[in-house]
Amino acid sequence: MSIQTSISQLTLPTLRKMKQERQPIVALTAYDYSFACLLDHSGVDIILVGDSLGMVIQGHQTTIPVSMEDMLYHTSIVSRGVERALLVMDMPFMSYLNTERALDNATDALQQAGAHMVKLEGGLDQIPIVEALSRHEIPVCAHIGLKPQSILKTGHYRVQGRSAQAAKKMIEEAAALEKAGADILLLECVPKMLAAEISANSEIPVIGIGAGNACDGQILVLHDLLGITPGKAPKFAKNFMQGNADIQTAIRTYVDDVRSRKFPAEEHSFN
Ligand code: KIV
Which structural domains are found in the chain, ordered by start?
16-268 (3.20.20.60)
Q: At residue 265, does pLDDT exceed 80?
A: yes
Stretch among 1-5, 6-10, 90-94 having the lowest mean pLDDT: 1-5
Closest atom of ligand 1 to CA, residue 51: 1
Please, are residues 150 and 128 in contact by the beta-carbon 8 Å criterion?
A: no
What mean pLDDT is reported for the chain?
A: 96
Distance 262 CA to ligand 1 centre (A): 21
- Calculate how far, in angstroms, residue 133's C-alpha sits from the geometric centre of ligand 1: 20
Which atom belonging to ligand 1 lies closest to the Cα atom of 221? Answer: 3
**Does residue 146 line the site of ligand 1, with CB under 6 A?**
no
CA of 142 to the centre of ligand 1 (A): 12
- The reported pLDDT for the residue numbered 8 is 79
Model confidence band, residue 7 (pLDDT cutoffs 50, 70, 90)? low
The ligand 1 atom nearest the CA atom of 27: 7
Q: Is 121 a catalytic residue?
A: no
pLDDT confidence of residue 104: 98
CA 259 to chain centre: 17
Is 90 close to ligand 1, i.e. is its CB under 6 Å away?
Answer: yes
Give percent of the chain above pLDDT 90.
94
Q: Per-residue pLDDT averaged across 53-63, rounded?
A: 97
Is any ligand 1 atom within 6 A of the Cβ of residue 52? yes
